[in-house]
Structure 1
Amino acid sequence: MTTVVELELPAADTALRRVFDRVPSFHCRMEQAAVSDCPGLWLGGGNRSEIEAALDDDPSVDAYSQIDTAPDERLYRIEFADEVCEIGAVLFAEDGTILAASAASGTWSVRMRFPDHEHATRTYRRLLDRDIDVDVRRLQKGPEANSKRHGLTSEQYETIVTAIERGYFEIPRQVSTQELADEFGISNQSVSERLRRASGTILSTELNVEDGRSSLENRD
């Protein structure tokens, strides 16, 4: 089952530290989903001359060129130094795909998709092995398309998938709603509501029947 992970990595351990030091308002974002270690980056938060002067002085950057412009940002193709490319190789080594990446206030936020939880875990450990202070901000199991196909919200999908994996529907039950609530950092009632709504939506969709809530609403 695919796993989507949101990571935070300090620029001091990865890329563009010197730019953030010299241009505190600097921010950037990746042009599109990446399958290589040299994506286009939209740079903003400063004028062209000060950003390019900082790029010239940044040891994580080997070369750069501007390829497009917008009112508040400029698109650059950046060739990073070998040590940054090695970090990129770590991200891609476990069949990872960068879905989105941005940086502000000296921190990179990277959203990635992996074939499964194990691939994501190995990538996390590889980053730690390189002494990168990586922080996992969010982890979502299962493709986002599935939650839309079944009519579930992302929260409902994540909760019911976790409940299945933890044995909530087993006999005897292997995990309680309170334990799930503690894992998600929400109330017991919220977990119960997510599971009821998710189960009802899936059953009504798969069995091609209208659930009770919809029937009552249609009668009013």
Structure 2
Amino acid sequence: MRLVAEFKIYCDSLPLVDVVAAVPDARVRLDLQYNHGKRPLFLITVNGGSEQTLETALTDAYDVGGWTQIGQAGDTRRYQIQPALSFEEQLGDDIDDLAGLEELATADAFIDRITVEPDGWRQTGWFADREEFSKFSSFWQHNADFRLDRLNRVETPEPPGEGLTNRQYEALRIAYERGYFEIPRQVSLEAIATELDITASSVTERLRRAQTQLIEETVATTWPTLPESPQ
């Protein structure tokens, strides 16, 4: 049973945390480039924040050996970073089980997103089964503060829209093609009802059910559970 998990590791010693702490309004995504010797290079994608402040923080960071801006498009900048420290030097004072950290690299898991935050890393990862995820979460629970935000079973999804009824699909298609969802609207609800030969209230119901179905099949699967509303 494959799993996808979203979680936060609170650890001030993780790479680039100090840099992001200096530019808290920047959003920084980290990718590792493993084909560059023993220690992978870092590739970060930065949105927002002061460019000058960020680059000053990179220059001053104790764990950055060098950096190069390799591209910019609008407010998005990309940097390649040479780490100044080994993992042992970076984390040795805070993590007791460095051997266990190395073992995680061989686990049946894939971390496909790392967001660097001022107090740690937020990650999304795919795990072969619950046992593999337990190894990962247990390590970080022992060595740092770990918070699980989402854990879902991965199944083969149907293409978005497969859960719609034929009537919902027809109503959604006509509403879209006639310009009902444009701003401003190009067609009235009553006109769509006439074309479908149903009442306007029936059109509203079909569109709402169709939109709810599409939301549940797509973006809703990525949202963490909301806290209970106060009574």
Match status 1:61 vs 2:64? yes
Deviations 1:86-130 (A, max 9, x none): 79856533132122222345442210011111111101122234x
Match of 1:139 in 2: 151
Match of 1:112 in 2: 125
Counterpart mapping for 1:121-200 below 5 A: 121-129=134-142, 131-143=143-155, 146-148=156-158
Identity of aligned residues (%): 21
- For the residues of structure 2 that align with 1:88 and 1:13, how far apart are their CA atoms? 14
Match of 1:175 in 2: none
Match status 1:103 vs 2:123? no
- For the residues of structure 2 that align with 1:8 and 1:18, how far apart are their CA atoms? 16
Deviates more, 1:43-52 or 1:133-142: 43-52
Gaps of 5+ in 2: 35-39, 92-97, 164-212, 218-224
- Change in 2 beyond 3 A, CA 1:121/1:62: farther
Q: Which residue type is aligned with residue 49 of structure 1?
A: Q
Match of 1:7 in 2: 7
Q: Secondary structure at the match of 1:54?
A: helix
- For the residues of structure 2 that align with 1:186 and 1:73, how far apart are their CA atoms? 32
Task: Say if 1:17 and 1:58, in contact at 8 Å, map to a contact too.
Answer: no
Match of 1:166 in 2: none
- For the residues of structure 1 that align with 2:158 and 2:33, how far apart are their CA atoms? 25
- For the residues of structure 2 that align with 1:74 and 1:185, how far apart are their CA atoms? 32
Deviations 1:143-168 (A, max 9, x none): 4xx13269578989xxxxxxxxxxxx
Match of 1:79 in 2: 82
Task: Say if 2:17 and 2:116, in contact at 8 Å, map to a contact too.
Answer: no
The normalised TM-score by structure 2 is: 0.54
Q: Which residue type is aligned with residue 9 of structure 2?
A: L
Match of 2:18 in 1: 18
Gaps of 5+ in 1: 157-183, 188-220
- For the residues of structure 1 that align with 2:154 and 2:134, how far apart are their CA atoms? 15
Task: Say if 1:9 and 1:135, in contact at 8 Å, map to a contact too.
Answer: yes
Task: Say if 1:90 and 1:127, in contact at 8 Å, map to a contact too.
Answer: no
Task: Say if 2:67 and 2:82, in contact at 8 Å, map to a contact too.
Answer: yes
- For the residues of structure 1 that align with 2:128 and 2:22, how far apart are their CA atoms? 38
Q: Which residue type is aligned with residue 94 of structure 1?
A: A
Deviations 1:161-198 (A, max 9, x none): xxxxxxxxxxxxxxxxxxxxxxx8999xxxxxxxxxxx
Q: Which residue type is aligned with residue 108 of structure 2?
A: D
Number of residue pairs the alignment of both structures matches: 155
Q: Which residue type is aligned with residue 53 of structure 1?
A: T
Q: Which residue type is aligned with residue 70 of structure 1?
A: A
Task: Say if 2:7 and 2:124, in contact at 8 Å, map to a contact too.
Answer: yes
